[in-house]
């Protein structure tokens, strides 16, 4: 929590929300009382809900920023996030802790190449005595290059 000294401004606390956008991305958004004249926000992440590390500060999460995406996350993993407003050396109290679990990665079909096959099927050739490819065409009769 924020320790306030006499004459020091107290900053409002943001409200944070989080959703899993995919198995490796988390969408974060927050609400904040405008007009506080802040520099931006400090976003923190944890994998245990107790030990947080800052992953974004006011230089990236400016005062006009209200959302971001945290990419390259692990599938089927729970993450915890919290955020606070920052103005110079003053920080607001922490927001609520937003908990979100990424879904499992989608499994991709596995293809096994078998020598002598195409897509698992054995290639076949038409029988040698299948006849002419064009109905009515006889290559023996058309030795002069004309066709019927």
Strand partners, 17: 29
CA angle 63, 66, 69 (to 5 degrees): 120
Top pLDDT among 79 and 121 is at 79
pLDDT digits (tens, 9 = 90+) for 12-31: 999 999 999 999 999 999 99
Whole-number Å distance between alpha carbons of 123 and 127: 13
CA 101 → CA 5, 56, 128, 137, distances in Å?
Answer: 39, 20, 61, 68
Residue 33's CB is within 10 A of a number of other CB atoms, namely 13
Whole-number Å distance between alpha carbons of 82 and 17: 9
- Percent of the chain, pLDDT > 70? 66
* pTM > 0.85: yes or no: no
């Amino acid at each position: 929590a924020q320790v306030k000294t006499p004459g020091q401004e107290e900053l409002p606390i943001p409200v944070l929300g989080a959703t899993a956008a995919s198995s490796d991305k988390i969408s974060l958004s927050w609400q904040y009382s405008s007009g506080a004249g802040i520099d931006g926000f400090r976003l923190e992440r944890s994998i245990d809900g107790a030990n947080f590390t800052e992953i974004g500060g006011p230089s990236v999460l400016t005062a006009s920023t209200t959302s971001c995406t945290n990419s390259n996350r692990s599938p089927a993993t729970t993450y915890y996030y919290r955020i606070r407003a920052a103005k110079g050396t003053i920080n607001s109290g922490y927001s609520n802790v937003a908990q979100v679990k990424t879904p499992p990665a989608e499994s991709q079909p596995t293809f096994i190449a078998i020598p002598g096959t195409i897509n698992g099927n054995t290639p076949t050739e038409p029988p040698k005595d299948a006849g002419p490819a064009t109905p009515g065409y006889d290559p023996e009769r058309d030795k002069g290059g004309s066709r019927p």
